Chains A and B, each alone.
Chain A
Amino acid sequence: MSNQPEELPVWSCASCGKPLEVVKVAFTYMKGNFEVPLQACPACGLVMIPEELAMGKMAEAERILEDK
């Protein structure tokens, strides 16, 4: 699972007013831990998971982990 955004972020953090930057975001699921480069607010850490990732690779990884 990886997601390297190629274009500059169009999303910014509404409360901090800062444009998002690519950072490492940690996830857990079914006893598994992952780190994925994703856009997030550099100030408050609010992350951005795009639809394609959530319904695509994340869903796929969830399915694989559920079969373990």
Chain B
Amino acid sequence: MEKSELQEWEYKCIQEEPPQCTAGCPIHVDARLFVRQVGLGALDEAFKTLSKTMPFPKIVGRICDHPCEPLCKRSDAGEPISIGALERACIETTREKVKGVMLPRKKLRVAVIGSGLSSLTVAWDLLRKGYLITLFEPEERLGGSLWEYPETILPPHVITEELSLLESLGAVITLSAEVGRDDFITGIHGEFDAVYVGLDTPGLNLHALAQDGEGMTWVEPLTLATSLKGLFAGGERRKDGLLSPISEVFAGRRAATSIDRYAMNVSMDSGRDHEGPFATRLYTNIEGIEPLPHVVPGDQVHGYSADEAVREAGRCIQCECMECVKVCLYLDRYKGYPKKYARQVFNNEKVIFGSARTKNQFVNSCSTCGLCETVCPNDFFMGDLCLQARRTMVENNFMPLSFHEFALQDMAHSNGERFDLCRHEPGLEESAWLYFPSCQLCATSPGEVPASYRYLRERLAGGVGIMLRCCGAPAFWAGRDDLFREALEAVRREWERMGRPRVITACSTCRSIFQDHFPEMETRTLWKTLEEIGLPNGKVSPALSGEGRTVAVADPCITRHDRETQQSVRRIAKSLGFAIEDLPLSGEKPECCGYGGLMYNADPRLARELITHRTTKMEQPDTAYYRTTVSDHDYLAYCAMCRDNLAAAGKRTTHLIELLFPNVDGADPAGRGWISWSERRRNRAMVKDAILTELCEKGGSSLEEYENIVLEMSEEVRRRIDDRRILEDDIRKVINHAEQSGKRLQNAGTGHFLAYLQSENVTFWVEYSPADNGFSVHNAYCHRMNIVGVKQ
């Protein structure tokens, strides 16, 4: 990833954009943090938050005209937060004092004329930056129009105390300054390095400055520069004569920035786009937020008590986006959001060889399901980011094998002699159609796939060929472009050989891969095809018909943009007698089952947690943002991996093909439960054999000797070894090796043997004992470290 690409990714994620209140505040007070702190009763901390951006907070906090409030998102659910009143309550309660922290003194002298809020802000900001400030005030006291406020709002002692801070920071104050003299401005302009003129200062003689068309002093809007170089001006009263304290403060802040830039001789205008109020890009979803009105203060004159302030602040919804994290366990578990993640992925890629690449697992755990893109206001797609990063890892030889090896071996099995097959319809030499049932559907529905193939042949003219292969999706997800191209090319070659027939897919992932990477191939789903040629009516056993039962349709994540297929499945289910429930995350928002993107391989624990969240109601969420809704009804899946993963988590789930082409009469497919990776491979081989039998060809590829070993094991052991991605054939190889070589350990207590064998990159250990027909397997485990041997 290049730096510019990172910036593009980062720009898309708006989570770090300021909330409306901050963006709308001329001086960008962090009102969201301030209100949160008030809500927690941490008033001293809240005051510190104000002090960070607000000059003289004990004055400004009392009189601010709070332009933030009309922008508050709470208005969309009740009334806006009374931020102004909370500032006042905070200031009146806190014992914190404003501290004047300063940078080292500079030798630059700045004159500030007047002591209205704009002038005071210039003096305050520049004092803190170390400038030598001299303040010229025509009256006999500082503060200008501040004295116009009623005592109940701004007590005089507060003005006096707060403004005394200027002198304590070293400002030189000249009262009764003769600002009306003809040469006053020019004299000061000659004497100081820079000058600020508060235009609200009474009696000013401004004839030395150029005027605009309306007879006002001309100032450059962005910098507040005037016609005299180094002299800046601002802070007039509004045209309606009313005071906008925060606008005056903003004028002072803007002028102080200009004076600092002028004095430091840097660009006067670059990077100032976001000074003052601006429209934020932050999106906050207020769906489901209960509307609440203002907390009304008991004492209307003095405003909120501390308790009332806490309650009012408690209404703040703490605006943020997090839309994607709310629907993705993966994004939630890594405790960030896409902007942060993009930076982490970039850093992970750029680290110098040898230092830690701590985000490898993160990059490889995304299911690439695309739900984030659907819910993101800016279409941020984590899957794209992660897939790019995976391809880079593979190219640069940084991809740990363990993340994808098992899945790629499973794919190799599907494209090897045990499954790979492509034939015309028995007795025909051409195919108008080609059925592509997919490796994973054959793995879980070895009876239904041949039955559906027979039905297609009965109903479709012109010949229906069949291709048993993997489409290459696992290699695509693993970032293995080489293997992916190879798999796709093999499909292309066979498809060409078959005469470029129309392809009927039973797996939405295969179809999506073909549509994206093989556009000249015309595909349609099995479901759409069945709707066109007629459902196998009368073949559905009464036990499987819906009879008005409700099922919740678990759309596969890959169909989120395929409304046609989703509707087709629903129509079929309805015609089978089922009532349909749509899960909240369905349609364009389905979640992944943990198979997509090979999450189950790179992060098995996360995949298990994900499917648990999708199938088990949780009283106490164990997540920060992510929430799911689980239906009590049985699920209806039409993706083989969704069926298997949901069922493995204990959820009653049926695959649509099991309803249409029931294997065993009277069976309850939703109660079928989990199947192991070993069974999946056997099932694929069964499908191939069944097709070959119909073709009157010889099936049953030759077995290795070890494959004939009979294993006995408990359900618990079977499940455990499957979770560890250990195949029964891996166990057979170990036992075969141990029995032939004699290399095995024996336990004095149990008599069990323990043996190990490294097979490719994994060493498998098996604890076993001889049984009547073969061997009892008591346990198996594995590791990837290579045993070199005993050191002498």
Q: A51, B360: Cβ atoms under 8 Å?
A: no
Residues from chain A with a CB closer than 8 A to the CB of B356 are: 67-68
Partner of A51, one of B403, B747, B781, B789: B781
Render B136-157 as a binary contact track against A, CB cut-off 8 A, 1 for contact.
0000000000000000000000
Partner of B358, one of A27, A55, A67: A67
Quick check: is B402 within 8 A (CB to CB) of the other chain?
A: yes
Q: A66, B745: Cβ atoms under 8 Å?
A: no
How far is the CB of B399 from the nearest CB of chain A, in Å?
Answer: 9
How big is chain A's contact interface, by range?
35 or more
Quick check: is B519 within 8 A (CB to CB) of the other chain?
A: no
Residues from chain B with a CB closer than 8 A to the CB of A11 are: 745-748, 754
Q: A32 — nearest CB in chain B belongs to which residue?
A: B785
Q: B754, A48: Cβ atoms under 8 Å?
A: yes
Residues from chain B with a CB closer than 8 A to the CB of A26 are: 787-791
Q: What 9 A-B pairs have minimum CB-CB distances, sorted nearest first?
A: A66-B400, A26-B788, A15-B742, A24-B791, A45-B790, A29-B785, A54-B783, A14-B746, A11-B745
Contacts A10-B749, A62-B402, A68-B354 known; A46 to B743 CB distance under 8 Å? yes
* B-to-A contact residues, CB < 8 Å: 354-361, 400, 402-403, 724, 742-749, 753-754, 756, 765, 779, 781-791
Residues from chain A with a CB closer than 8 A to the CB of B779 are: 51
Q: A47 — nearest CB in chain B belongs to which residue?
A: B787
Q: B788, A27: Cβ atoms under 8 Å?
A: yes
How far is the CB of A44 from the nearest CB of chain B, in Å?
Answer: 8
In angstroms, Cα B742 to Cα A46, docked, is: 11
Residues from chain A with a CB closer than 8 A to the CB of B355 are: 68
Q: A27, B742: Cβ atoms under 8 Å?
A: no
In angstroms, Cα B785 to Cα A37, docked, is: 15
Q: A36 — nearest CB in chain B belongs to which residue?
A: B785
Q: Give how many A-B residue pairs fall within 8 Å (CB-CB).
A: 102
Q: B787, A27: Cβ atoms under 8 Å?
A: yes
How far is the CB of B757 from the nearest CB of chain A, in Å?
Answer: 12
How far is the CB of B603 from the nearest CB of chain A, in Å?
Answer: 10
Q: A14, B745: Cβ atoms under 8 Å?
A: yes
Q: A25, B787: Cβ atoms under 8 Å?
A: yes
Highest count of chain A CB atoms <10 Å: which of B356, B360, B400, B749: B400
Q: B790, A24: Cβ atoms under 8 Å?
A: yes
Q: A49, B744: Cβ atoms under 8 Å?
A: no
Q: Which of A54-68 contact B (CB under 8 A)?
A: 54-55, 58-59, 61-63, 66-68
Q: B743, A15: Cβ atoms under 8 Å?
A: yes
In angstroms, Cα B403 to Cα A66, docked, is: 9
Residues from chain A with a CB closer than 8 A to the CB of B403 are: 66
Residues from chain B with a CB closer than 8 A to the CB of A20 are: 745
Q: A10, B783: Cβ atoms under 8 Å?
A: no
Highest count of chain A CB atoms <10 Å: which of B358, B400, B790: B790
How far is the CB of B398 from the nearest CB of chain A, in Å?
Answer: 9
Residues from chain B with a CB closer than 8 A to the CB of A14 are: 742, 744-746, 753
Q: B744, A25: Cβ atoms under 8 Å?
A: no
Residues from chain A with a CB closer than 8 A to the CB of B745 are: 11-14, 20, 41, 46, 48
Contacts A10-B748, A30-B400 known; A62 to B783 CB distance under 8 Å? yes
How far is the CB of A31 from the nearest CB of chain B, in Å?
Answer: 10
In angstroms, Cα B762 to Cα A59, docked, is: 12
Q: A27, B785: Cβ atoms under 8 Å?
A: yes
Residues from chain B with a CB closer than 8 A to the CB of A33 are: 788
In angstroms, Cα B762 to Cα A29, docked, is: 11
In angstroms, Cα B359 to Cα A41, docked, is: 40
Residues from chain A with a CB closer than 8 A to the CB of B358 are: 67
Partner of B785, one of A13, A15, A46, A62: A62
Q: A53 — nearest CB in chain B belongs to which residue?
A: B783
Q: A35, B742: Cβ atoms under 8 Å?
A: no
Residues from chain A with a CB closer than 8 A to the CB of B749 are: 10
In angstroms, Cα B354 to Cα A48, docked, is: 32
Contacts A23-B790, A25-B787, A63-B361 known; A49 to B756 CB distance under 8 Å? yes
Residues from chain A with a CB closer than 8 A to the CB of B746 are: 11-14
How far is the CB of B361 from the nearest CB of chain A, in Å?
Answer: 7
Contacts A20-B745, A62-B783 known; A35 to B791 CB distance under 8 Å? yes
In angstroms, Cα B762 to Cα A49, docked, is: 14
In angstroms, Cα B753 to Cα A46, docked, is: 13
Quick check: is A28 within 8 A (CB to CB) of the other chain?
A: yes
In angstroms, Cα B790 to Cα A46, docked, is: 8
Q: A28, B786: Cβ atoms under 8 Å?
A: yes
Q: B790, A47: Cβ atoms under 8 Å?
A: yes
How far is the CB of B769 from the nearest CB of chain A, in Å?
Answer: 12
Interchain residue pairs with CB less than 8 A apart (13): A11-B747, A14-B746, A25-B787, A25-B791, A27-B786, A46-B743, A48-B754, A49-B756, A49-B783, A54-B783, A55-B783, A66-B402, A67-B400
Highest count of chain A CB atoms <10 Å: which of B403, B781, B784, B785: B785
In angstroms, Cα B765 to Cα A44, docked, is: 18
Q: A68, B790: Cβ atoms under 8 Å?
A: no
Q: Given contacts A27-B788, A55-B724, could you give 13 more A-B pairs where the C-beta distance is less than 8 Å? A: A11-B745, A24-B791, A25-B791, A26-B787, A26-B790, A28-B786, A29-B785, A34-B785, A44-B743, A49-B765, A59-B783, A66-B403, A68-B356
Q: A67, B360: Cβ atoms under 8 Å?
A: yes
In angstroms, Cα B401 to Cα A63, docked, is: 11
Q: A44 — nearest CB in chain B belongs to which residue?
A: B743
Q: A20 — nearest CB in chain B belongs to which residue?
A: B745
Q: A37 — nearest CB in chain B belongs to which residue?
A: B791
Q: A64 — nearest CB in chain B belongs to which residue?
A: B356
How far is the CB of B406 from the nearest CB of chain A, in Å?
Answer: 14
Residues from chain B with a CB closer than 8 A to the CB of A58 are: 783, 785
Q: A24 — nearest CB in chain B belongs to which residue?
A: B791
How far is the CB of A66 from the nearest CB of chain B, in Å?
Answer: 4
How far is the CB of B533 from the nearest CB of chain A, in Å?
Answer: 50
In angstroms, Cα B746 to Cα A7, docked, is: 16
Q: A21 — nearest CB in chain B belongs to which residue?
A: B790
In angstroms, Cα B402 to Cα A29, docked, is: 12
Residues from chain A with a CB closer than 8 A to the CB of B753 are: 14
Residues from chain A with a CB closer than 8 A to the CB of B400 are: 30, 66-67
How far is the CB of B211 from the nearest CB of chain A, in Å?
Answer: 67
How far is the CB of A42 from the nearest CB of chain B, in Å?
Answer: 9
Q: B358 — nearest CB in chain A belongs to which residue?
A: A67
Residues from chain B with a CB closer than 8 A to the CB of A46 are: 743-745
Residues from chain A with a CB closer than 8 A to the CB of B402 are: 62, 66
Q: A35 — nearest CB in chain B belongs to which residue?
A: B791
Highest count of chain B CB atoms <10 Å: which of A59, A62, A66: A66
In angstroms, Cα B742 to Cα A61, docked, is: 31
Q: B780 — nearest CB in chain A belongs to which residue?
A: A51
Q: B361, A67: Cβ atoms under 8 Å?
A: yes
How far is the CB of A14 from the nearest CB of chain B, in Å?
Answer: 4
Residues from chain B with a CB closer than 8 A to the CB of A49 are: 756, 765, 783, 787
Render A1-23 as a binary contact track against B, CB cut-off 8 A, 1 for contact.
00000000011111100001001
Q: A12 — nearest CB in chain B belongs to which residue?
A: B746
Highest count of chain A CB atoms <10 Å: which of B359, B403, B788: B788
How far is the CB of A53 from the nearest CB of chain B, in Å?
Answer: 8
Residues from chain A with a CB closer than 8 A to the CB of B782 are: 54
Q: A12, B748: Cβ atoms under 8 Å?
A: yes
Residues from chain A with a CB closer than 8 A to the CB of B747 are: 10-11
In angstroms, Cα B142 to Cα A5, docked, is: 81
In angstroms, Cα B742 to Cα A29, docked, is: 27
In angstroms, Cα B763 to Cα A58, docked, is: 12
Q: B782 — nearest CB in chain A belongs to which residue?
A: A54
